[in-house]
Structure 1
Amino acid sequence: MLETTKFGNLIGAAATMLAISASTAFAWPDGAVNYIIPFNAGGESDITARYQQPYFKEATGQDLIVQYLPGAGGAQAWSGLNGYNGDGMTIMGTNLPHIVLQPLLQDPGYQTDDITNVYMFHFTPDALLVQKDSPFQSVQDVIEAATQNPGSVIAGGTGTNSANHVANQVFTNETGAETTYIPYSGTGATESGLLGGEVDVLWGYTTVAARQADSVRMLAVATDERHPLFPDVPTFKELGIDMVGGAYRGIAVPSSTPEELRQQLSDTIGKINADPEFRKRMEADGYAMIDVPYQEMAAFMADRKAAYEKVAEQLNSQN
């Protein structure tokens, strides 16, 4: 009877330890979390990460360390994502349409399905921008110049197969205006290119117009309705140009990351996104907030892939 009791106690103790282990195995890692941004400092991905840092600290008790790994329009970072340990200590910024178009049009070292997205948190609408003193006063001015002298208008934007590149191609398809597209390593670099006179026009975002308000003019925005921060700027649709689009941004983790940690990170980012002060700050900068958690990601990505297929064919025909 005594032996049976001892055995029962051992079983009970083992069960307790297993329960404790199960409850703590996927607690947030004890240490700073590295947040890899696949672009240079100064762009939307970097700015958003900086905004998220204090809220992440408050939600998890851990520091969020922003690091940069630019190259190949983000492909250098994404191709190496699954080489990191899936212990929750490394997360990476992810962008659409980049991670869909890059594998469709080239061999970036990864496939779209290799990227484990856990949350998409905002959207930045495409916008056509010029310097404040640019001779282009309207979209029609740009169209006329690029139509009369194909390739003479130099258009800047983020890397090839990015949201900016897609916007430039759709613009050409819709208007017949042929520009020369110059890809930059990130949004921050495109702003310098425009302000430094390296390009005539810039395919940027509403966020760029908000940030560079005293130095640039936005000629049109690719939204269904006018952006509340820019009520005087027409949409492309108002001008008879069927353009609605931009860049989606979120967070991905290495494929070896356990499901529980994926969900926990998704919940954490969702909590940050829901904070009223955080949302207010983001919207004031020109971002459009979205909330796509991990459990809805498969359907969201399937929809985005379908939307980008036609554009991929168009871009591929130029190569």
Structure 2
Amino acid sequence: MLKKLGLKKLGQKKLGVLATVATVLWATGGAFAFPDKPVNYIIPFNAGGESDISARLQQPYFKKITGDDLIIQYQAGAGGAQAWSVLNDQPGDGYTIMGTNLPHIILQPLLQKPGYETADLTNIYMFHFTPDALLVRADSKFETIQQVIDAAKETPGALTVGGTATNTANHIANQRFSTLTGAEMTYIPYTGTGATIPALLGGEVELLWGYTTVAAGQGDKVRMLAVAQDKRHPLFPDVPTFKELGIDMVGGAYRGIAVPKSTPEEVRQQLSDIIGQINADPEFIKEMEQAGFAMLDVPYDGMEAFMGERQKIYEDVARQLGSLK
């Protein structure tokens, strides 16, 4: 075929130009050489949480762009560490990708021995952010943050608050809330957001450290008391920020996608480009925002700087809380 096309006579330089052109065609909507079969998307938590919800929203757009399916699987355990610790055991051919979460993948190795180091995970994209929020059941006696603070101070540790695992955004939110307000509550860790919701609705815990996405998904079953954003969330214009209430809390969970370390650079970039195309789709953005997510765009080539910045922030938080190993 090379002879027929006359490519045999081309020098190495010209072949390089053709390769560049092919890459440009691929990136601008040409036919995809990769993937050419379904891609397995491992979620390191239970079904029903934010990682699962956003992956489900991504599925049809992945199919539209590539023509191939995104098959979601679950590997819950140890706040995500069970899956992250074996990511690099998977084939690095681009057909296995895994959800990653911040601060989990930085705090876990900082504070314990989860079986992996942050540097072991090859993140190719961070695509959304969910702000921390303190929630109660709709029939709860608590209607304001100040009522929670007063009750927690009156009987330290008596109030129970659920959250996702330990050394996570929820866990850090609870510790920061206690540090900043003096309100001591007993934190109950669950395997994922999907497990925390029935715990709150069923009365296992009185409060829940969740996200705007939880409030959006549960509707009138829950009441959000405050949200950890700089500005009020557009879906919840009546819910104050912690900052408005004099509590300097802005934070939450960042979510992205990683691949095994053996994955070639060109495949890492191709996958990053696909996720970037999904993130740029107006319909996808609309669906994500209606579900309570906040969009974030950190592609593969911006990941090193982003992770370096987050590493410093979480190290400072861990040090302030006296948790750094």
Q: Give the TM bin, normalised by the shorter chain.
A: over 0.9
Kept in 1: contact 2:135–2:224 (CA 8 A): yes
Residue number in structure 1 paired with 2:29: none
Gap change, CA 1:305 and 1:318, over 3 Å in 2: closer
Shift of 1:311: 1.9
- Larger of the two Rg values belongs to structure: 1
Letter in 2 for 1:114: D
Q: State the partner residue of 1:296.
A: 302
Paired residue for 2:316, among 304, 310, 315?
310
Q: Report the equivalent of 2:47.
A: 41
Matched, 1:243 2:244: no
- Alignment CA distance shift 1:90-1:317 (3 Å): closer
Aligned length: 310
CA distance in 1, matches of 2:280, 2:103: 24
Please report how far the alpha carbon of residue 318 of structure 1 lies from its aligned counterpart in structure 2 after TM superposition. Answer: 9.6
Residue from 154, 159, 166 that aligns with 2:160: 154
3-state SS of paired residue (1:167): helix
- Aligned with 2:76: secondary structure? coil
C-alpha displacement of 1:27: 2.9
RMSD: 2.2
Pick one of 177, 185, 207 that aligns with 1:179.
185
> C-alpha displacement at 1:305, in angstroms?
0.7
- Does 1:83 find its partner at 2:89? yes
- Can you list the C-alpha shifts for 1:146-192, whole angstroms capped at 9, x where unaligned? 11111101010001011000100110010011110001111111111
> 1:222 corresponds to which residue?
228
5+ long unaligned stretches in structure 2 = 24-31
Deviations 1:220-241 (A, max 9, x none): 0000111111111110001100
Report the TM-score when normalising by structure 2.
Answer: 0.90
Q: Is the 8 A contact 1:92 1:253 kept in 2?
A: yes
How much has 1:87 moved relative to structure 2?
A: 0.4
Instruction: Tell me if 1:53 matches 2:88.
Output: no
Q: Which residue of 1 aligns with 2:238?
A: 232
Alpha-carbon shift at residue 313 of structure 1 (Å): 2.4
Matches of 1:199 and 1:141 in 2, distance apart? 16
Question: Match for residue 73 of structure 2?
Answer: 67
- The 8 Å contact of residues 125 and 298 in structure 2, kept in 1 or not, is answered as yes
Does the CA contact (< 8 Å) of 1:29 and 1:87 recur in 2? no
Q: 2:118 aligns with which of 88, 91, 112?
A: 112
Conserved 8 A contact 1:99-1:112: yes
Query: 2: distance between equivalents of 1:248 and 1:314?
Result: 21
| Percent of residue pairs identical | 71
State whether residues 46 and 75 of structure 2, in contact with CA within 8 Å, keep that contact through their aligned partners in structure 1: yes
TM-score normalized by structure 1?
0.92
Contact 1:35 1:90 in 2 (8 A): yes
1:166 aligns with 2:172: yes
